[in-house]
Structure 1
Amino acid sequence: MFSFNFDRYMQDASFNATYRCYSVSMLPDERQNLEKGGKIIMPPSALYTLTRLNTTYPMLFKLTNTEKNRHTHCGVLEFVAEEGKVYLPYWMMRNLLLDEGCMLQVKNVSLPVATFSKFQPQSVDFLDISNPKAVLENGLRNFACLTSGDVIAINYNNKIYELCVLETKPGDAVSIIECDMNVDFEAPIGYEEPKRQAKQFPDNQSDNETEDDVSMLDELLSHTMVPFSGQGNRLDGKTPKPNQVDELKNSCQREYRRGIPDYNYQLGTIKFCRKFRNQTTSSSGQTVKASKP
């Protein structure tokens, strides 16, 4: 006799349906928070079918625009849409090149857990955020999965920041629910590295400039401070012996040269104080200037 294992069939079967898609702004009860994430609204019949198929949780879906050959992945937020319709965030419809009322194929899938993802901000305004990783982590809480090539939207301080998903590991589409994922950023589009202009200094300095440097060095070194120049006292109140005072002064009163700050210092400059050797007279009677030490 022919036997049919219905339970085995329901486990192997997958959910695959086609709906007319609309943006979440077309919902009868419009809710702005639905735009902040990567989840869709499906009809109640989809939940009934998924339950009968024993679909594993979390429920993840592959959305495909068959006419434009575009696809992405998402999660589901609620099953309250009208029959035959699904509601998507606007950024997701734009990635799929969909208009209001276009047909969309929805199929349940199982995705690997994410370990790494790389993003590229679509505007240099993203650099104004003090802690971009924290902002991204908070924004991805409303997402269920990521797909390489998608441009997702993050809402922060009443401003929308778009980021392109350049890379995901271990696959081109990954689940980010309850995972430990490393995040990296690429330079934003339109960003240019600041150009540093090096100051050009003359190769040779005149003798007057050199003499000024030497005189400045002598002036700095001429100011000395003699530490412990006062008279010492003993803790027991007795007068110290003269020879002990002389030994203490001889050991402590060493010349300590202390520099004076240059109040005319200019940022970005370095002053080198150089001394030249004295001029010598050669055997032929010509004056020869010694080279730098």
Structure 2
Amino acid sequence: MDFQEYLNLQRRTFVQYYRCLSTSLLNKENLDEDSNFLIMPPSALDRLTGLNIEFPMLFQIKNPSTELATHCGVLEFIADEGFIHMPSRLMAHLGIQENEVVLVRNTRLPTATFVKLRPHTTDFLGVSHHKELLEYNIRNKFQCLTAGETIAVAEGDRRFYLDLLETRPADAVCTLNTDCEVDFAPPLDYVEPPRAPAPAPVASSQGSGEPPQFTGAAARMDGKPVEQPPPAPVPAGGRHGDQPRQPAQFTGVAMRMDGKPVELPPPPTPSPAAASAGALGAPKRKIRFDAPAAGSGVSKGKEGAGAGKEQEKRFSGTQYSLKD
């Protein structure tokens, strides 16, 4: 910023060069080095009052040589003329040494709606009341937050450092009288647990043309020894591997869970028609149950009588009526 621009800004707003000192030099008990409050000279208050600056009074502090900037509130107007005091943490962030010049300018910041924080250590995860801890520290120490900085929150003698990864709706926000969403990134010293090794692939029998083989031991439910089937005969002049392996047959005895003897059904006897159809390779027919057509009768001649007897022979079940 050149001198002419500096003079033009002074007519419209508060902008001033000051030499910077740390707040620890004041030896005041109510000053917190973890906060971002400024101590300014009384002349600054007169100037701000004449410009009708609205509350809260927020300021941008910039290092003129590096253009690094941060944002602060004001706590008191008791500093010596030409000087301001600010926390040493912010001085280190701006790269400012004692008695170096900074540019102070009042500003307006949007109200915070979202803040993303990253703890430095996993000890912060052990705190059971993050909400109350953040509310208390931010309300008493920080009137504004700037993305890219590190803040410190305290609980008794414990101090937790948090990086401000993101703030919305701007890179610098006001934290007064707002409901703000807070998100947390993994701590800097967080180490992910090692992943479990993937299980070794099991050799599959697909594509080999053979069924999967059972590798266990055969056993019977009654405790008797299992009768193994005889080995398949080997063709003359060949080897066991010349013929495809047949699946093993079940050689046990059928049993019921209640101990009663098992009644085996007799083997079905195929009808001559089915046998002939199977022999010829004729396809199976679909059976369709339809209502009889109107006007269709059954002839009472010999053919009808013979057909009736044949039907009686084929139907061996009990006759029922839907009316019963």
The equivalent residue for 2:55 is 57
What CA deviation, in whole Å up to 9, does each residue of 1:227-254 have, x standing for no partner? xxxxxxxxxxxxxxxxxxxxxxxxxxxx
Counterparts of residues 145-224 of structure 1 (less than 5 Å): 145-197=144-196, 207=216
CA–CA separation in structure 1 for the residues paired with 2:31 and 2:216: 74
**Deviation of 1:193 (Å):** 1.2
**Deviation of 1:203 (Å):** 6.8
Counterparts of residues 94-109 of structure 1 (less than 5 Å): 94-109=92-107
Return the index of the structure with the highest Cα Rg: 2
Preserved contact between residue 151 and residue 163 of structure 2 (Cα < 8 Å) = yes
The equivalent residue for 1:288 is 248
Preserved contact between residue 10 and residue 53 of structure 1 (Cα < 8 Å) = no
**Deviation of 1:49 (Å):** 0.6
**Deviation of 1:15 (Å):** 0.4
What CA deviation, in whole Å up to 9, does each residue of 1:154-194 have, x standing for no partner? 22232332211111111111111111110111111131111
Preserved contact between residue 10 and residue 52 of structure 1 (Cα < 8 Å) = no
The answer for unaligned runs of 5 or more in structure 2 is 1-7, 204-213, 234-245, 251-324
CA–CA separation in structure 1 for the residues paired with 2:198 and 2:215: 19
Local SS of the residue matching 2:32:
helix
Shift of the 177–289 alpha-carbon distance from structure 1 to 2, 3 Å rule, reads farther
Q: How well do the aligned residues superpose, as a CA RMSD in angstroms?
A: 3.4
Preserved contact between residue 10 and residue 54 of structure 1 (Cα < 8 Å) = no
CA–CA separation in structure 2 for the residues paired with 1:91 and 1:77: 16
Counterparts of residues 47-86 of structure 1 (less than 5 Å): 47-86=45-84
Shift of the 197–140 alpha-carbon distance from structure 1 to 2, 3 Å rule, reads same
- Bigger strand share: 1
Preserved contact between residue 279 and residue 289 of structure 1 (Cα < 8 Å) = no
- TM-score by length of structure 2 reads 0.58
Question: Which sits farther off after the overlay, 33-42 or 184-193?
Answer: 33-42
CA–CA separation in structure 1 for the residues paired with 2:122 and 2:232: 71
Local SS of the residue matching 1:288:
coil
What CA deviation, in whole Å up to 9, does each residue of 1:134-154 have, x standing for no partner? 322221112111111111222
CA–CA separation in structure 2 for the residues paired with 1:279 and 1:183: 73
Of the three residues 138, 157, 175, the one matched with 2:136 is 138
Residue identity (%): 39
Counterparts of residues 248-287 of structure 1 (less than 5 Å): 281=229, 284=232
The equivalent residue for 1:43 is 41
Local SS of the residue matching 1:35:
coil
CA–CA separation in structure 1 for the residues paired with 2:182 and 2:91: 25
Preserved contact between residue 118 and residue 165 of structure 1 (Cα < 8 Å) = yes
Amino acid at match of 1:187: P
Local SS of the residue matching 1:46:
helix
Local SS of the residue matching 2:74:
strand
Local SS of the residue matching 2:84:
strand
What CA deviation, in whole Å up to 9, does each residue of 1:71-114 have, x standing for no partner? 00011111111211111112111111111111111100011111
Preserved contact between residue 21 and residue 103 of structure 1 (Cα < 8 Å) = yes
Preserved contact between residue 11 and residue 54 of structure 1 (Cα < 8 Å) = no
Shift of the 130–279 alpha-carbon distance from structure 1 to 2, 3 Å rule, reads farther
The equivalent residue for 1:89 is 87
Preserved contact between residue 281 and residue 287 of structure 1 (Cα < 8 Å) = no
Preserved contact between residue 15 and residue 104 of structure 2 (Cα < 8 Å) = yes
CA–CA separation in structure 2 for the residues paired with 1:11 and 1:101: 23
Preserved contact between residue 9 and residue 15 of structure 2 (Cα < 8 Å) = no
